[in-house]
Structure formats: C-alpha cells, structure tokens
Amino acid sequence: MRKQLPVLLVVVLVLAVALSAGARMNVEEMTTRRAIEQAFQERGGNISELILAKAQALYESGELDADLRGGLIDKSGTPMALEIYRALPELPADVSDRVTRMRARPSCDASITTEHFRIHYDTSGTHKILNWPNTSYRDAVATAAEYVYDQEVTAMGFVPPADDSGDPDGGGGCERYDIYVQNLSGVYGYCQPTYYTGSGNAATSYVVIDNDYAGFGYPDPTDPMKVTVAHEFNHSCQMAVDITEELWYMECTAVWAEEQVYDSIDDYTQYIPYYFNSTYRSLDWEDGTGLRIYGTCVWNIFLSENVDPGVVSDYWNACGGNSSVYQYLDMVLANYGTTIEEQFHEFAMWNWFTGSRCDGAHYSEGASWPLVSITRTFGMFPIVDGEPYSTYRPDHMGMNFIRFTNPGTGWTGLHLAYDGPATLSTPNGASVLQKTSGGTTSEYGDISLNPWGNGDITVEGWDGLSEVVMVVSNQTDNANDMTYTFDAEQVETSVEEGGEYAFALRPASPNPFAASTSIAYTVPTGGGRVEVTIHDVSGRAVRTLVNGHRPAGPGEVRWDGLDSTGRPVATGVYFARLNIDGTTASGKLMVLK
C-alpha cells in the first residue's frame, strides 16, 4: 500500500509568509488564501482552525466565513492543497478526519476517456458541466488535455504524472490521469496530491478545473479552461518528481508552462505587475495579494529565451532532496555553460526592456508588459554616496533600478562609481543602460567590479542622452537588505577634437589601492591653474598633489597614500578633487591597508 506524503509542519511557514506581506490589506485586494492567513495573523487561532478554513475555501467554499473570502480570483488552488495535505498529520484526529473527507475525490455521474486521461463531469446539479447536453465544453476539455500532454511531456520533456491505478482511494477507476470538472469558487483550478509512489518524493495526483469559468472575464470560457489544464497538469508532472519543492517555483513553472502551451491566450500577463512592482524583493517573496508568485513566471520566461527552454524541464527532472531551488538551478545552468549569478544579473537588465522601453532584443512579448518600478531617480549632480531608500535595498535574488536624468547642462560624460559588498561573500553586480534624447533605450555595459565590490564606468555621449539607468542585482540566495553606495558626476570626455582639449577627470587606477594610485586629468585648451587635492569623507584636505599652472592636454599625478605630513592615511574612503580655474570635479578613492 502506498503511504501518504511526509509530515511537514506548516504553522511557522504560514505565519512567516503572512508577516512578510507588510501592512494590513483589504480582503477585496487579496486572494482567499491570503485573506485567511491575514485573519489568523491578526486574531490568532491554532493550526487546526487555519487548515480547516483553507480546506473549506478549496473544497466547500459555501461553508467558509464571509469575512475570510478574498476578492481576487486565485490562479491556482494547488498551494492550499499542498499546505492542507502537509499539515494533516499534525491535526487532531477529529479535524484530520473532517478535512480528509472534504478533500476526497469528487464523485461525478459521467466520464469519458482519451488516450491519457479520464474526464469526470456531472450532467445535472451544482457541478453540471457547461452547455450540457451539448458536449462541446466536455470535448474541448478532452482535446485540451491531450494537447497539453503532447506539449508538456512529449515536446517539453516533463515527467508524466505518476500512475494512480494502485492508490488506496481507487485512483479514479483506471490508470489514466484524472481531471474532474467541478463548480469551483475563487480559483481557476487545482492539482490535488494523493499518495506517495514509493519512489523518492514522487506522488500521485489528480486535477480539478471549473465547470464553466463564469465570472473570469473571458468571453470564451474555453480559454481559461485551456490555460488551467496546462497549468495544473504541469503541477501533476512536478509532483511525479518532487512533492516537496518550494511553492513559488512550482507556480512560477506552471504559469510559464501554460504560456508555452497556449502562447496566444496570455493569461499570465495580468500577474506580471505583482512582481514588477517589487523586484527589490526576492523571487521567492510572497506579497499581500497572494498573486506575486504567479508573476515570477518572468524568471522562467527569461531563462527559456536567454539560455534554453530545456532549462526548466531539466530542473524538474533532476530536483529533489534538501537543496534550494537556486542551488538546483545553478547545477542545471552549469550544463549550459553559465551560472545562476550570471543569469540573474542579465535578468535584472532584461526587466527594464518592457512596455514602451521594449527594444525587440529582449523579451519576445515584452512590449505588452508593464514597466518595472524605478527604485530612485536623480537629476542633480554630483551625487556622493547615493543609495536606495533603506526599505528598498535588494534582498537575495532582488534588484534595484537607479535612474539618472540629464539636466541638459552640456557635459559630455557621466561618471558612475559603484561600491557594493565584496563579491566573494555577496555576489552582486551593476550594469548601465542608456536612453538617447530620441527615446531609444539600450544596454551600455557592465561596471567591472573588483573583489571588494568596487568599480566605475564613464558613459560617453551624455550630452545626447535623456537618462542613464544603473541596474543593481543581489545575486545571493540568502543575504537580504544588501547595502551599496554610488557616486555620479558629469565630466568632459572629449579629450581632443579638432585640436581642442576639454576639462576632464579620469577614474583613479588602481582603485581600491594599498600602495599608490594614479589620477589622470585633462587641462582644457589654453591651459590653466590646476589643483589636485585629496580630501577625507568630512571634506578636510589631506594632501595637495598639484598646485600650479599647467599647459593644455593630458596630465597625471600619483598619490602614495600619505598625508601632508608624510604619514600613511587610514584605511577608508577619500576623494580626489580637481579644480582648474574654478571648474571642479571629484572622484572617490578607496585606501586599503
């Protein structure tokens, strides 16, 4: 006899998710699952009451208290189905028995079989299938099921659902995979886990979909039916490998799969704003609405378009055990010659190129997506030790978008210096994007970081740009609230044009440094009085390196890390300040001893 799924205590996990969602939201702004979690967070209650409420929401919605019903339709009831089943062993016997009865297989009065499926439906009563006795909807379900099987199993390479013909509950009456058509409330559908197969973490399952999709906003009810069959069937393939995987990635994959199978329906696009509005949070973070986990499908869309569609199915065919999603993905990506850190950094840049910023070189459907939220915008220079607002620092697998708008003062370059965590302990990255005055957005380049997480870049042609964006990515799988700073200063980059020299201060090299560093500059045509001074973070002058008239053209001076008395300065941040006849510029230096 097959045993049930492993015991997983969910009390702490559920409450942690609820607490992470922030301030209280109106129930009309969330799914029923999140409304239940918020209510129990606020008023207390034990695990039995919480799980019973979720079971009512999924299996007997008419029994659920009205104040626990959310106003948003949930993409999938599978997270609740999994939470309920994992908690069953921890429930008192009477509650466990009640929930077990509620989650039993539906009993229908009719069925048809196809090559791989048995479709169960009712011809009368509450769950009566749409259009009966016309069989058009029933037949559409059967056709969709076989099409989905062919696409997800045969073409995409997912493991087919586990054979349930030996399940203690009868397995639906035959070895074919079971789909039940029922009158659901608040969800598109769900995949119900049933029993362990005895092979690793694999489990049998069945799928439940809605009987008519009335009220879902679709003029053709077969459209939400099709994406739901694709979505929930993908969950059955996941459960055939590992029932214990992280819920966010199960949903990320199922939404991605439905889009691959039914590319023209695009139901997934309604969930992207829930992710794009909070990209500074981790991919696995759940918001207060309960819908963000579906919006993270953009991560799998990116991987399939930038690396290979096989990455996703390869993950599900290899996962299992105690490693996190990120660790398994990194192992899979190694087979494609890349790493999760490299891909997440590129993913952050791709997310800028959607909506009106779509350039045709990134997401294939990005033009129809919303714009990602901007973390901060700056339009006055110089900026010294700029940073994101503390509440928007990127968590693990999170990102920021720092925008610099051109004030139109005629400078030809924008020098950006980034100071992040040490890359060995906290993998992170910074890239620069540019938008021309004509409105075209493109990638400019990465800021090359040293092991200490420092780097800089000068964007040339600043006088012809309307804005520059620095994209910062936290590529770790566990370190949250990543701190970093940046400097931004307008500079002259045209050193020699038609025999004319222009004022310029170059980034110091090396930087950071221990022994000495070189500071290069350009004296404009006609020459001038040049001062190069070193200042500490308080603004106090530490050392004067140049003070006198210099001819036009390039100049350079070295600083040996000593102050004006000849003593070595302390480890820390300093600034090189160039002043040529009243025109000034400065650059940050890092001294390491």
Query: Tell me, what's the pLDDT at 321?
Result: 67
Give the model's confidence band at 2: pLDDT under 50 very low, under 70 low, under 90 confident, else very high. Answer: very low
DSSP 136: H
What distance in Å separates the CA atoms of residue 265 and residue 310, rounded to the nearest whole number? Answer: 22
pLDDT tens profile 391-444: 999 999 999 999 999 999 888 899 999 999 999 999 999 999 999 988 899 999
pLDDT tens profile 195-208: 998 888 899 999 99
Half-sphere exposure of 226 (CA within 13 A, CB side): 21
Q: What is residue 491's three-state secondary structure?
A: strand
Largest CA distance in the chain: 97
Query: Tell me, what's the pLDDT at 1?
Result: 34
* Structure-token match 């393939």, residue found: 237
Per the document, the length of the chain is: 593
What distance in Å separates the CA atoms of residue 229 and residue 232, rounded to the nearest whole number? Answer: 5
pLDDT tens profile 260-274: 999 999 999 999 999
- Check whether 17 has a pLDDT greater than 50: no
What distance in Å separates the CA atoms of residue 444 and residue 30, rounded to the nearest whole number? Answer: 39
Q: What does the H/E/C string look like for 287-311? A: CCCCCHHHHCHHHHHHHHHHCCCHH
Instruction: For CA atoms 567, 571, 572, 578, give the dihedral sign.
Output: positive
- Check whether 19 has a pLDDT greater than 50: no
Is the distance from CB of 15 to CB of 51 less than 8 angstroms? no
DSSP 159: P
Average of per-residue pLDDT values in the chain:
92
pLDDT tens profile 341-351: 999 999 999 99
Give the model's confidence band at 501: pLDDT under 50 very low, under 70 low, under 90 confident, else very high. Answer: confident
What distance in Å separates the CA atoms of residue 553 and residue 256, rounded to the nearest whole number? Answer: 57
* Structure-token match 């993905």, residue found: 329
φ/ψ of residue 420, rounded to 5: -110, -170
Contacts 24+ apart (CB under 8 A), 405-408: 405/377, 405/378, 405/379, 405/466, 405/467, 406/379, 406/437, 406/462, 406/463, 406/465, 406/466, 406/467, 406/468, 407/379, 407/380, 407/381
- Check whether 7 has a pLDDT greater than 50: no
Global pTM? 0.86
What distance in Å separates the CA atoms of residue 593 and residue 512, rounded to the nearest whole number? Answer: 10
DSSP 360: S
Give the model's confidence band at 491: pLDDT under 50 very low, under 70 low, under 90 confident, else very high. Answer: confident
What distance in Å separates the CA atoms of residue 335 and residue 372, rounded to the nearest whole number? Answer: 30
Strand 117-121 relative to strand 177-182, pairing: parallel
Instruction: For CA atoms 148, 321, 243, 198, give the dihedral sign.
Output: positive
pLDDT tens profile 304-316: 999 999 999 999 9
What distance in Å separates the CA atoms of residue 76 and residue 192, rounded to the nearest whole number? Answer: 11
Q: Which residues contact 487 (CB under 8 A, 6 or more apart)?
A: 382, 383, 384, 385, 386, 415, 416, 417, 419, 587, 588
Give the model's confidence band at 504: pLDDT under 50 very low, under 70 low, under 90 confident, else very high. Answer: confident
